[in-house]
Amino acid sequence: MQNQEKIIDMFNKIAPTYDKANKILSFGIDASWRSSACDQVLKNFNSSLNIADVACGTGDMIQAWINSAKKANLKIDKITGIDPSKQMLKVAKEKLPNCEFKEAKADNTGLNPNTQDIVSISYGIRNVVARTQALHEFNRVLKIGGYLVVLEFTKRDKSGPIAKIRDFYLHNILPAIGGFISKNKEAYEYLPRSIEGFLDSNEFCRELERSGFEMVIVKGFSMNISTMFIAKKVKNI
């Protein structure tokens, strides 16, 4: 599956069960990965903020931003959730009725240039076929000195016992459980394929640097299952 519209359609289909499957498949740990990323980035701010969460899905990263900002005593002026999947947005709007949402793809968000303090994309960039254009778009909408936060499952070295356990989980357990909950096994078979089709951490950092960003932090969570990339916009491209 590579065609962008097919990927979006797949998310439309699994949207009603996405949150439930996610919680079970990640044992609930994904919430801590999101909140660690938000806490870390917000340390760099002391005034009110504009945040765009791209590939927002059902809104969990937006909720993490709201919680972390509250903890840090920071005011969010505006937070915009962006996603091309109508059905994922429908769930997000039910959970976060006071937030603003836009139905759009990462490479054409419709946001004004140099307006965002933070752009985030959690477990979304792997699904963006026009990835280079999307990174250019993030550069375009961020202010100079603004932060891009990416959480993602990156391609890994396949040797060693941990890689074997991870592979077994991704190729066998995840499609079985995800398929059972969503009644859409194909969608959960796409996940390991999309990780293998993505970049490794170093390759992704080089892409970010070519898009006008300077790497600030790259950190693996939970035995490197998930990786957090924090990058700062240093120039317009």
Binding site residue list:
58, 83, 122
Cα–Cα distances in angstroms (integers) from residue 67 to residues 62, 99, 163, 167, 231, in the given order: 9, 14, 33, 33, 21
SS3 202: helix
The stretch near ligand SAM (CB under 6 A) out of 51-59, 168-176, 197-205, 206-214 is 51-59
SS3 153: coil
Nearer to ligand SAM, 117 or 152 (CB): 152
Nearer to ligand SAM, 83 or 117 (CB): 83
Among 60, 117, 137, 152, binds ligand SAM (CB under 6 A): 60
Q: Per CB under 6 A, does 128 bind ligand SAM?
A: yes
> For residue 161, with 0-12 CB atoms within 10 Å meaning exposed, 13-18 middle and 19 or more buried, which class applies?
exposed
Among 65, 91, 111, 123, binds ligand SAM (CB under 6 A): 123
> What is the arrangement of strands in the sheet containing 49-54, beginning at the earlier edge strand?
100-103, 76-83, 49-54, 116-122, 142-152, 226-233, 213-221
Nearer to ligand SAM, 128 or 208 (CB): 128
Nearer to ligand SAM, 57 or 146 (CB): 57
The stretch near ligand SAM (CB under 6 A) out of 118-126, 141-149, 199-207, 220-228 is 118-126
Q: Per CB under 6 A, does 54 bind ligand SAM?
A: yes
> Is 65 in contact with 117 (CB distance < 8 Å)?
no
SS3 231: strand
Q: Given the structure tokens 């760099």, which residue do they identify?
A: 44
Nearer to ligand SAM, 47 or 81 (CB): 81
> Which residues, numbered 6-35, are part of the site for ligand SAM (CB under 6 A)?
7-8, 11
Among 37, 42, 55, 170, binds ligand SAM (CB under 6 A): 55
What tokens does 151 get?
């959480």
Nearer to ligand SAM, 6 or 210 (CB): 6
Other C-beta atoms within 10 Å of 162: how many? 13
Give, in degrees to the nearest 5, the angle at Cα 82 between 77 and 86.
135
Among 14, 42, 57, 166, binds ligand SAM (CB under 6 A): 57
Query: What does the radius of gyration of the chain's CA atoms come to, in whole angstroms?
Result: 17
The stretch near ligand SAM (CB under 6 A) out of 57-65, 111-119, 199-207, 210-218 is 57-65
Positions in the binding site for ligand SAM (CB under 6 A): 4, 7-8, 11, 54-57, 60-61, 83-85, 88, 105-106, 122-124, 127-128
